[in-house]
Amino acid sequence: MGTESYMDKIMEMVSLYGVNIITALVIFIVGRWVAKALRNVARKVMTKKNVDPIIIGFTCNIAYIALLAFIIIAALGQLGIQTTSFIAIIGAAGLAIGLALQGSLSNFAAGFLMVLFRPFNVGDFVEAAGVAGTVEEIQIFTTTLATPDNKTVIIPNAKLTGDNIINWTVKGTRRVDMVFGIGYDDDIDKARQIMEDVLAKDDRILKDKATQIAVVELADSSVNFVVRPWAKVSDYWGVYMDAMENIKKAFDEQGISIPYPQQDVHMHQVSEPQR
């Protein structure tokens, strides 16, 4: 009699909840398949539109996780489970995680915006967050720079986007700014001609952009020239250092002095008073 009673209760529960359980399983299985299909479709569409792979991966994964969470909640609701409490728990957990990972989330958002708006690309020489170097890798949380002395610097993306970014590569060319001083007794026109001749021999200096050579300051010990040729970004340092050396040598050969700061000290002898 007891066994029949238990069997009756089991059959009653199966008849009451069996359909809901099957429906919940169907919702979960079909919903998961649909979520994967939508993720694949979104990936293919963004790939055809030449969207950055980083954006594709993170966007598709986030969308898939959000859809999966919605499907699980719908399946639990079909079983008669009150999902309001689950939603509240998920919301509270999300808030706690967000507060704990506030810095990481800000880096994530900054990385996403950098990949989306592209203030610089891999291979660009940039100056940002107090560091100058070539961009080696742009990740979702950090950006890696290689400095000219071969140091690897890993910078949080939020720090990059929160400061000025100077991209020396994006324009393709760069002005080489130099200052040369000559003595007050030297011939200004002769010095200018010497500098023009030296720069004209360097094929790396761009001829379609005017080179500026002009007196910029009458300093305490020298007449200062600004010398501003243009070169490709890749030739910048070569042009700068060679111009410095070659102009100095040309000045020496032509008798143009490059003065250095100096002071005249006058000694006055004071005789002691006679007693």
Average the pLDDT over 11-37 and give the result: 75
pLDDT tens for residues 69-99? Answer: 888 877 777 766 666 666 666 666 665 655 5
CA distance 111 to 122: 14
223 within domain boundaries: yes
110 within domain boundaries: no
- Residue 147: give the domain boundaries: 119-167
91 shares its domain with 155:
no
CA distance 36 to 28: 12
8 shares its domain with 76:
yes
268 within domain boundaries: no
pLDDT tens for residues 206-260? Answer: 999 999 999 999 998 899 999 999 999 989 999 999 999 999 999 999 999 988 7
- CA 22 to chain CA centroid, nearest Å: 51
Region at 80 (left for phi over 0; alpha for psi -120 to 50; beta for the rest)? left
163 shares its domain with 178:
no
Whether pLDDT at 190 is above 90: yes
Domains held by the chain: number: 3
Of 51, 66, 100, at which residue does a domain stop?
100
112 within domain boundaries: no
| CATH number of the domain bearing residue 229 | 3.30.70.100
20 shares its domain with 80:
yes
pTM of the model: 0.59
| CATH number of the domain bearing residue 149 | 2.30.30.60
147 within domain boundaries: yes
CA distance 85 to 229: 69
